[in-house]
């Protein structure tokens, strides 16, 4: 236990229950708002229409144009619709792409957000926003983009296909693993991170083989909430730096890339952060730091269809430039990593074998 720490709780209200999407109208009233624009991706339009029915006269329409990486053109179209409808709040129902669009809208307009997550990405718990302009993603932190209320309804996850469920769950675990060796860790975030890994690892294999198992969906959504909370609270390390770089340079799918990369970075950091990695291992059912990477790899094999960056379509020629770009930027990590070492880590993930 450190002698000294700062803990800043992110504001917000959490409503967690199967069927809690039904409470969306009450939550808008509680906010003091009365004209909600509903945001979603094109393929979650049906769900948004269900929310519109629940909202009745408090609904101000549906914007169904959310896409990955929040392009400025999408933000402009969404803002135009929000202005035309005189919206006074946004309801974001969907994964990280939809929540990301709501955050970008709020950055421009100040509209309060109610988030209803349907994946394990965890964006709803972080003050981190991202916007893509001319194929370049810019990110920042601002507490104003934090949703005012998050409705976690595990029933909405029942439709999440196994191929998205596994990687999305490991993406949430990646937040928690890096939180455990963050330099700004505190006892509360550490508890949340360990619990995130335990809950996610307990529920994820079942959620993949039996997507409609509500207990598995509740355990994993609870883990995702805590994973998002620690992502928003402390600085992320080498794993997130590599994934951010690969995402930008190689346009690889977000959750899958995290799922594949994580065991190799855990192995790399185990010697430098033995206490943190031992906590990861314990939460996964192991006992010592050296178990963490092996258990993360086993969980990935059990739950994810894609097992290597090569399978995601990355070109081998991109490994070295990505390693150099990641090495050139600063990030907190328990062990310094040279461009050569990062190249080895990406190469290992490219092949997808056992972490060494
Ligand atoms: P996503 O939001 O793009 O969703 C992936 C696909 O799954 C979409 O087509 C979506 O419509 C569909 N989908 C979502 N929920 C579903 C459900 N329950 N049933 C059926 N289909 C469903 O993907 P994501 O992984 O949730 O989010 C990734 C994005 O979020 C990335 O751009 C990433 O950078 C961002 N992100 C941001 C933060 C942050 O703190 N700002 C944190 C994590 C992720």
**Dihedral, CA atoms, 253, 347, 271, 220, nearest 10 degrees?**
20
Q: Pick the residue with more confidence: 250 or 238?
A: 238
Q: Residue 17: which H helix or E strand, with range?
A: none
The whole-chain average pLDDT of the chain stands at 96
Ligand 1 contacts CB of residue 123 (under 6 A): yes
Q: Give yes or no for residue 212 having a pLDDT over 90.
A: yes
Question: What mean pLDDT do residues 263-267 have?
Answer: 98
Q: Where are the beta strands (DSSP E) in 48-133?
A: 59-63, 89-94, 113-117, 128-133
With beta carbons less than 8 A apart as the criterion, state whether 193 and 180 touch: yes
Question: What mean pLDDT do residues 170-174 have?
Answer: 98
Question: What mean pLDDT do residues 111-127 have?
Answer: 97
Quick one: tokens of 24? Answer: 């969306």
Question: What mean pLDDT do residues 160-176 have?
Answer: 98
Q: Please count the residues of the chain.
A: 356
pLDDT of residue 252: 92
Going from the Cα of 144 to the center of ligand 1, the distance in angstroms, rounded, reads 21
pLDDT category of residue 5 using cuts at 50, 70 and 90: confident
Question: What mean pLDDT do residues 231-257 have?
Answer: 93
If one counts every other C-beta atom within 10 angstroms of the C-beta of residue 89, the result is: 24
pLDDT of residue 69: 87
Q: What is d(CA 240, CA 217) in angstroms, rounded to the nearest whole number?
A: 25
Pocket test of ligand 1: the residue of 94, 132, 139 to mutate, having most ligand atoms within 8 Å of its CB, is 94
- Cβ-based neighbours of 24, under 8 Å, separated by 6 or more: 51, 54, 55, 91, 114, 116, 151
pLDDT of residue 134: 83
pLDDT of residue 21: 98
Ligand 1 atom having least distance to the Cα of 98 = 2
Ligand 1 atom having least distance to the Cα of 42 = 11
Q: What is d(CA 154, CA 209) in angstroms, rounded to the nearest whole number?
A: 16
User: Which residue owns the Cα nearest ligand 1 atom 30?
Assistant: 96
| CATH numbers and ranges of domains, the chain | 13-157 (3.40.50.1970), 162-351 (1.20.1090.10)
pLDDT of residue 30: 97
Quick one: tokens of 188? Answer: 């509360």
- Cβ-based neighbours of 122, under 8 Å, separated by 6 or more: 96, 171, 172, 175, 224, 225, 227, 228, 229, 231, 232
């Amino acid at each position: 236990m450190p002698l000294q720490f700062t803990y800043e709780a992110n504001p917000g209200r959490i409503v967690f229950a199967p069927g809690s999407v039904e409470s969306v109208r009450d939550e808008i009233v509680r906010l003091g708002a009365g004209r909600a624009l509903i945001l979603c991706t094109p393929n979650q339009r049906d769900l948004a229409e269900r929310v519109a029915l629940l909202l009745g006269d408090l609904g101000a329409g549906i914007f169904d144009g959310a896409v990955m990486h929040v392009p400025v053109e999408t933000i402009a179209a969404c803002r135009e619709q929000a202005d035309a409808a005189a919206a006074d709040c946004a309801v974001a129902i969907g994964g990280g792409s939809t929540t990301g669009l709501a955050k970008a809208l709020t950055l421009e307009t100040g509209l309060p957000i109610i988030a209803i997550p349907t994946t394990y990405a965890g964006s709803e718990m972080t003050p981190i926003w991202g916007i893509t302009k001319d194929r370049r993603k810019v990110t920042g932190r601002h507490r104003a983009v934090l949703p005012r209320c998050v409705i976690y309804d595990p029933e909405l996850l029942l439709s999440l296909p196994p191929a998205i469920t596994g990687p999305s769950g490991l993406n949430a675990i990646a937040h928690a693993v890096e939180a455990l060796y963050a330099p700004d860790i505190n006892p509360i975030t550490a508890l949340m991170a360990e619990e995130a890994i335990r809950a996610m690892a307990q529920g994820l294999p079942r959620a993949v083989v039996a997507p409609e198992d509500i207990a598995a969906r509740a355990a994993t959504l609870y883990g995702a909430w805590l994973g998002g909370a620690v992502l928003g609270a402390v600085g992320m390390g080498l794993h997130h730096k590599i994934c951010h770089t690969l995402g930008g340079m190689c346009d690889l799918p977000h959750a899958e890339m995290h799922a594949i990369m994580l065991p190799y970075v855990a192995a790399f950091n185990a010697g430098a952060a033995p206490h943190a990695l031992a906590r990861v291992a314990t939460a996964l059912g192991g006992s010592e730091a050296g178990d963490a990477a092996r258990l993360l790899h086993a969980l990935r094999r059990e739950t994810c269809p894609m097992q290597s960056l090569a399978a995601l379509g990355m070109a081998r020629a991109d490994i070295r430039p990505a390693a150099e770009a990641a090495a050139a930027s600063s990030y907190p990590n328990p062990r310094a990593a040279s461009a050569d070492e990062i190249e080895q880590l990406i190469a290992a993930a490219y092949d997808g074998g056992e972490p060494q």
